[in-house]
Every structure is written in C-alpha cells, then in structure tokens.
Structure 1
Amino acid sequence: MSDHSVLTVIGKDRIGIVAEVATLLAEYHINILNISQQLMEDFFTMIILVDTEACSISRAEMLTILAEEGKKRALDMRLQDEALFQAMYRI
C-alpha cells in the first residue's frame, strides 16, 4: 500500500459509526491522520486521511475487507490512494 490514502464512509446515521471505523482501521495498523465528518439529513458522511505504511495486509486485501465490513454495517466505504486526489488538483 502507498503511505497515504483517503477513506470515504457514507451511511444512514447511527451511534457508533466513527468508533466502528476507527477500530477496524486500528486492527490493520492503519493510522488516522485527519478526519472530517458531516451529517446530511439522515446520512452520515466521513472523509478520513489515513497513513497505511504499517498496514499488515495488502491494498487489495484491505479493499476487500472494507467492502465486506461495509456491507455488514450498511456503510459504503471506499479507500483511494492520496495520489489520485493530488493529481486531480494538478489538472
């Protein structure tokens, strides 16, 4: 995995979403560098900048886990390399 990635999380608002996502990231040694969250009507949205340098699994495995855990928790979780966002701002 590259060192920095952006994780987006979207779902129906409920208690414990931030704790669930933070715990999941910690299990794989992914550090939260910055976090932004917002409520949009009944929907919870969160954007997290993470450091994946110490991640204990491959990027492909992490993407699979996030997809599976997102389904279990009724959340859409997407992990994208920070370089993608940097490139968008250069255009």
Structure 2
Amino acid sequence: MKSIVTVVGKDKVGIIAGVSAKLSELDLNVIDVSQTIMEDYFAMIMMVEALKETNIKEVRAVLKELGDNLGVTIHIQNEEIFNAMHKLNF
C-alpha cells in the first residue's frame, strides 16, 4: 500500500528527523520526499509504502500524536484517495 504523508507547520529543528524516525518504526518506507520552507513555515510531502500489513487508523493516530509533539500537522492518505481528491476534471 502506498500512501501520501503531508507535514505542515512552523519551521523548527527536528521535524524531518522526527517524522522519518516514526515512519521507520511503523515499517513505512519513504519512496519520495519533497520539502520546502516558506518564510517561517515548513511543508513536506512524502510518498511512503507499507513494508507489512498496516492499520491506517492506528498509523493516523500515531502520526497525529507525533505532530502534536512536534508542533506540526501530519496527515496520511492512501495514494489512490489522494490522487482522486486532487484530480482536475475538465
């Protein structure tokens, strides 16, 4: 299962390290990552892939707690759902 992880919040030291370490603990492999800092705000999007059977609700809860601790907002969505939500229809 591939998923998209987004992280947004005020920039500070340790965000990338904290998120990456937690994803590793959850057996989620980072396939691709893009991050930027706009003035004082940090934004990152990651594509991850589960290395084993994963309960997405539990992962969401763990990432929410991590986000609260880091002072950022972290979301995870199944790649197919993310793509469907961001598809432009003309």
Q: Normalising by structure 1, what TM-score?
A: 0.87
Looking at structure 2, the residues matched to 19 and 4 of structure 1 have their Cα atoms a distance apart, in angstroms, of 21
Tell me the equivalent position of 1:23. 21
Query: How much is the aligned-residue C-alpha RMSD, in angstroms?
Result: 1.5
Q: Deviations over 1:29-50 (max 9, x none)?
A: 1000000000011000000000
Pairing 1:78-89 to 2, within 5 Å after superposition: 78-87=75-84, 88-89=86-87
**1:62 maps to which residue?**
59
The alpha carbon displacement at 1:54 in A equals: 1.9
SS in 2 for 1:89: coil
Higher mean alpha-carbon deviation, 57-66 vs 81-90, is at 81-90
Identical amino acids, percent of aligned pairs: 34
Counterpart in the other structure of 1:8: 6
Q: Which runs of 5+ in 2 are unaligned?
A: none
Amino acid at match of 1:86: N
Runs of 4+ more than 2 Å apart: 85-91
Unaligned runs of 5+ in 1: none
- Per-residue deviation, 1:89: 2.6
